[in-house]
Amino acid sequence: MVSNQEREFLSGRRVAYLATADARAVPHVVPVCFALSGETLYVTIDEKPKRTTGMPLKRLRNIAENPAVAMVVDRYDEDWSRLAWVELRGQVSIEPVGPALEALAERYPQYRAEPPPGPLLRLAVSDAVVWSAGER
């Protein structure tokens, strides 16, 4: 369940940072684009598998081993009293782009010109942490 406060903060940010871990608990983190559609959070994985190895991306291999992820969205400001972030944790599933395209294209004009090839991650949020420097 994503609160209205979290939803508003997420809507105002363009990039999130998605952490996955493999079965040996070795973490991996990358910038990602995302969109909320109702209670569902979609994350795009719009790079192709590495041409050199033909291997699927590390984050997809990690998710196949371990669907637990964490995602953070933040506001940085040189006035540190304005720092804030929202971390969402949960389990992801790998899905084709399908109906999430509308929510993504609404946020990112870039996807209107060139839709993400997919797959997408669909995050079922089980836990959210909201932090802001102003509330320390």
Residues binding a copy of itself: number (CB under 8 A):
35
Mapped onto helix, strand or coil, the DSSP state of residue 27 is strand
Q: Is 27 in the site for a copy of itself (CB under 8 A)?
A: yes
Q: Is 130 in the site for a copy of itself (CB under 8 A)?
A: no
Burial class (CB in 10 A: 0-12, 13-18, 19+), 39: exposed
Q: Is 123 in the site for a copy of itself (CB under 8 A)?
A: no
d(CA 27, CA 50): 19
Contact residues for a copy of itself, defined by CB under 8 A: 14-15, 17-31, 47-48, 66, 68-72, 74, 76, 78, 80, 83, 85, 87, 89, 110, 136
